[in-house]
Amino acid sequence: MQQLSGTSVLVTGGAGFIGSHLVDALVPENDVRVLDDFSTGRRERLPEDVTVYEGDVRDAGLVERAMEGVDLVFHTAALISVPESTKHPERSHDINARATLSILERARRVDARVVLSSSCALYGPPESTPIHESDAKSPTSPYGVDKLTADTYARLYNDLYGLETVALRYFNVYGPRQAENPYSGVVSTFLRQARADEPITVEGDGAQTRDFVHVSDVVQANLLAATTDAVGDAYNVGTGSSVSIEELARLVRTTADSGSEIVHVDARPGDVDRSRADIGRIRERLGYEPRVSLSDGLADLLR
Ligand code: UD1
């Protein structure tokens, strides 16, 4: 695919956190459809000229209708919470793995490119950082196993059937519209606590690290994946830098000019202790360059 304009595009999870930012970037020049069950996604985020297919990504009939005649699918619909996947492994499997397989299968029929929202959770605890795409994969949660399955199927569909697929392995994504609930990401939780002058709850000793990538850079990666010739592969999407959760707590508190105290609570079972992306592959092959630093991204969220 040479350029992204005048293309018929489906965004699954298009009313969600990442999907809705992607929809905003696509709408001006493309014919955009959204499949969303609005369980966590919000209808009021969607621009008017989007065609909505309301329902579950596990509904094969609905997926088939939504994909009729499309050239490109961004598959962002998912069960995103690692702890929730641990409570409901079958649900995670059905949503994160099985539904991805049916999207790939449908894409094969209509010859549509698939850009998959994959996750660095598929690596599990790394032997060393930064994490390269070819590093060992031993996921420690049902979520990680299911994302590894989906990501592997994406490559397989390229190998077996020549389907154009790209898997984007997101590190920790944050930014506007991220939900604020116990299952959402740590940045939105800390921001809410800091704004309310409530204690900022660091789980464990806070020495665990994450690579926080702004949602606008994730959109950038998706748009590049939509047109690249370097298909059939998986790419890390991060910044290449990491901070500890304790540092994040301090940074949020300072940026929010908050009086919150930082408290330590129980560590999360199975939590990954270090995470940082090697972004050499996506930089070289797709021309991706992260643009938003964590301090700028946080300042922007507080504005
Ligand atoms: C997140 C994503 C997951 C993605 C993965 C990739 C969410 C909800 N999950 O999981 O979809 O695949 O990144 O790495 O966005 N923490 C605290 N205090 C809190 C909340 C969290 O200290 O109040 C800590 C956690 O124990 C963890 C870290 O912050 O060490 C990050 O947690 P979280 O934002 O839930 O992300 P991941 O588990 O990394």
CA 49–ligand 1 middle distance (angstroms): 34
Distance between CA atoms of residues 290 and 185, nearest Å? 20
Phi-psi region of 235 (alpha: psi -120 to 50; beta: other; left: phi over 0): beta
Taking the CA of residue 271 as reference, the ligand 1 atom at the shortest distance is 30
Instruction: Tell me the percentage of the chain whose pLDDT exceeds 70.
Output: 99
DSSP secondary-structure letter at 123? Answer: G
Residue 195: count of CB within 10 angstroms of its CB: 15
Of 1-10, 61-70, 102-111, 136-145, the range with the lowest mean pLDDT is 1-10
pLDDT at 179: 87
Q: Is 171 in the pocket of ligand 1 (CB under 6 A)?
A: yes
pLDDT at 133: 98
For residues 160-168, average pLDDT: 98
**What does the pLDDT look like over 60-117, one tens digit per residue?**
999 999 999 999 999 999 999 888 999 999 999 999 999 999 999 999 999 999 999 9
pLDDT at 154: 98
For residues 140-162, average pLDDT: 97
* CATH, domain 8-174+213-239+278-291, list 3.40.50.720, 3.30.450.40, 3.30.930.20, 3.40.920.10: 3.40.50.720
* Candidate from 95, 147, 186 with most ligand 1 atoms within 8 A of CB, to mutate: 186
pLDDT at 270: 73
Give the pairing of strands 72-75 and 8-12: parallel
Comparing 222 with 268, the larger pLDDT belongs to 222
- Which residue minimizes the CA distance to atom 7 of ligand 1? 185
Distance between CA atoms of residues 12 and 211, nearest Å? 25
Q: What angle do CA 131, 164, 217 make, to 5 degrees?
A: 45
**What does the pLDDT look like over 255-267, one tens digit per residue?**
999 999 999 999 9
Domain boundaries, the chain: 8-174+213-239+278-291
pLDDT at 1: 57
Taking the CA of residue 249 as reference, the ligand 1 atom at the shortest distance is 22
For residues 176-199, average pLDDT: 91
Would you say the C-alpha torsion 75, 76, 77, 81 has a positive or negative sign?
A: positive
Classify residue 266 as exposed, middle or buried by CB count within 10 Å of its CB (0-12, 13-18, 19+): exposed
CA 157–ligand 1 middle distance (angstroms): 30
53 assigned to active site = no
**What does the pLDDT look like over 215-265, one tens digit per residue?**
999 999 999 999 999 999 999 999 999 999 999 999 999 999 999 999 999
pLDDT at 2: 55
pLDDT at 181: 79
pLDDT at 3: 72
For residues 26-55, average pLDDT: 96
pLDDT band at 184 (very low <50, low <70, confident <90, very high): confident
Q: What is the DSSP string of 262-281?
A: EEEEPPPTT--S---B--HH
Asked if 278 and 130 count as a contact pair (C-beta separation under 8 A), the reply is yes
Residue 6 predicted with pLDDT over 90:
yes
Asked if 244 and 207 count as a contact pair (C-beta separation under 8 A), the reply is yes
pTM of the complete model: 0.96
